[in-house]
Chain A
């Protein structure tokens, strides 16, 4: 049974049903039924036209459900009055589905859940496992999301930035349960990039590929964090890096810069360096200047301070840092690092310990605590 094929067909099948006049929530249920049926039937009797098969079965399920529901009699008449289903172009429908699932009326968690279910074709159980919540909770999230967007017209293009934000949220959730969300978000972004011609979609795809290429080296076998400078570059996925760089260059050539392209450019400069020492920090600082101009985000300026510290020395980095609010996440960690580079080990150790207290996750907390312990041990010898 080819689960990947089923997942990739889901959005266009769903899009066709909605295009034919099915209500989004009912269409989604019908498509899920058809997928279950496919899993049951296909191994013994594979269809020649998988998509056509799914559309036929899903449409039949939708009609059955509509007929069975006496209260919906009126809509049944409406549906029967629709023109006979002909072949529908799938590409545009899939695109509309992305916009629908990332609709601004949805909360981020609902948009993510609906996207993974309706566009990604994942089951509710898989999504629940990936986000470590009970299946019933995820089912409620999805059905509320479906209700929220059920009145939204299907033929209006949405906001690309919202879709990209949702996909990046999925990517950043990473890996848990039996679904690799990073790989899944890359697949969905790739599909989106095939359906829409937009430099920021390409920028996000490039960014994801470049980050993903380093994934195997970002943590040690015991789960502890390996910082960029210490990662084993021979284990980076050169194919993914080459693809990411190529996609990025094509996007940049169109001269419509956006924040994802700028972030991808920074990731590409890291990926390009044969050793950490050979990183082109001067160019990275320039990209952070672009990024700060585009986003005005304090997190960007914090990262810029790190880059300045590498390009112009730790004192320059500390000066850049001094201009930022010290309540920013990771501000203390950055200060600790720059003081260590500057040779002030006592201050660095104290700040690392303080940063560990504020760390947002276990891997980072353990990393920062170890840094503090290492410096304290060195000072006491």
Chain B
């Protein structure tokens, strides 16, 4: 029972095996891809492992405090080279192994030619806000 964030990147992750840009897929291939993601989320709802899933727009802006009485500094839209998060899914699973298994499945979503994309997904454990009580002298 631990929560994990599965992160999908627009850019910044290593290249996928089947890396053709989405606008060069056929419409059917795009539909199949979208359907795969829907089915995946629906199956996790079924198993009681689904927590949340959101997609993000490709445009992001860095913002920074610039001193008293001045508007925050922005760097404008992300430059092409920056890491960029496309979306996330949060799962709540029994083990780390299960989180890895699910991320692997998600990475197998079909892309160009109907073949799996093999894209790199990032799996990050949530830090719980408070520790458990199991035997430990630090507490």
| A141-B48 contact, Cβ under 8 Å, with A109-B1, A172-B134, A333-B138 | yes
A163: interface (CB < 8 Å): no
Q: Given known contacts A131-B1, A225-B139, A306-B137, is B49 in contact with A363 (CB within 8 Å)? A: no
> How many residue pairs bridge A and B at CB < 8 Å?
104
Q: Is the CB of A112 within 8 A of B137?
A: no
B46 at the interface (CB under 8 A from A): yes
Question: CA A363 – CA B138 in complex, angstroms?
Answer: 12
CB of A361 within 8 A of chain B? yes
* Known A110-B48, A140-B45, A140-B46; contact A307-B137, beta-carbon cutoff 8 A: yes
Query: Is A104's CB within 8 Å of the partner chain B?
Result: no
Chain A residues whose CB sits within 8 angstroms of the CB of B132 once the complex forms: 172-174
CB-CB under 8 A from B135, the residues of chain A are 263, 266-267, 299-300, 303
Residue total for B at the interface (Cβ-Cβ under 8 A)? 27
Contact with B along A364-375 (1 / 0, CB 8 A): 110100000000
The answer on a CB contact under 8 Å between B92 and A133 is yes
**A266-B135, A307-B137 are contacts. A363–B129 as well, Cβ < 8 Å?**
yes
Tell me how far the C-beta of A216 lies from the nearest C-beta in chain B, rounded to whole angstroms.
Answer: 13
With both chains docked as a complex, state the minimum distance between the C-beta of B15 and any C-beta of chain A, in angstroms: 28
Q: Is A61 on the interface with B (CB-CB < 8 A)?
A: no
Question: Contact: A225 with B48, CB < 8 Å?
Answer: no
A373 to chain B, nearest CB (A): 17
Partner of A362, one of B128, B134, B139: B128
Which of these, A141, A142, A361, contacts B129 with CB under 8 Å?
A361
**CB interface residues, B 3-55, toward A, < 8 Å:** 3, 45-52
Q: Does B76 contact A (CB under 8 A)?
A: no
Q: Is B81 an interface residue (CB 8 A)?
A: no
**What are the residues of chain B within 8 A of A266 when measuring CB–CB?**
135
Q: With A and B bound together, what is the CA distance between A211 and B132 in angstroms?
A: 11
Question: Taking the complex as formed, is A134 at the interface, i.e. its CB lies under 8 A from any CB of chain B?
Answer: yes
CB contact list, B78-116 vs A, under 8 A:
92-94
Q: How far is the CB of A339 from chain B (nearest CB, A)?
A: 15
A110 vs B52: C-alpha distance when bound (angstroms): 19
Is the pair B139, A134 in contact by a Cβ cutoff of 8 Å? no
Complex: A287 Cα to B97 Cα, angstroms: 33
In the complex, what residue of chain B is closest to A227 when comparing beta carbons? B138
The answer to whether A211 touches B138 (Cβ under 8 A) is no
A360 at the interface (CB under 8 A from B): yes
**B contact residues vs A (CB 8 Å cutoff):** 1, 3, 45-52, 92-94, 125, 127-139
Interfacial residues, chain A to chain B (CB-CB below 8 A): 107-110, 112-113, 131-134, 136-138, 140-142, 144, 169, 171-176, 182, 211, 214-215, 218-219, 223, 225, 227-228, 263, 266-267, 299-300, 303, 306-307, 310, 330, 333, 337, 359-365, 367
Q: List 17 A–B pairs whose Cβ atoms lie within 8 Å, in order of A's numbering.
A: A108-B1, A109-B92, A137-B45, A137-B48, A141-B47, A173-B132, A174-B130, A214-B139, A223-B129, A225-B131, A225-B138, A303-B135, A337-B138, A361-B129, A362-B127, A363-B130, A365-B127
Besides A144-B48, A172-B134, A363-B131, 13 more A-B contacts (Cβ < 8 Å) are A109-B48, A133-B92, A140-B46, A140-B48, A144-B46, A214-B139, A219-B130, A223-B130, A225-B131, A307-B137, A360-B128, A361-B130, A364-B138
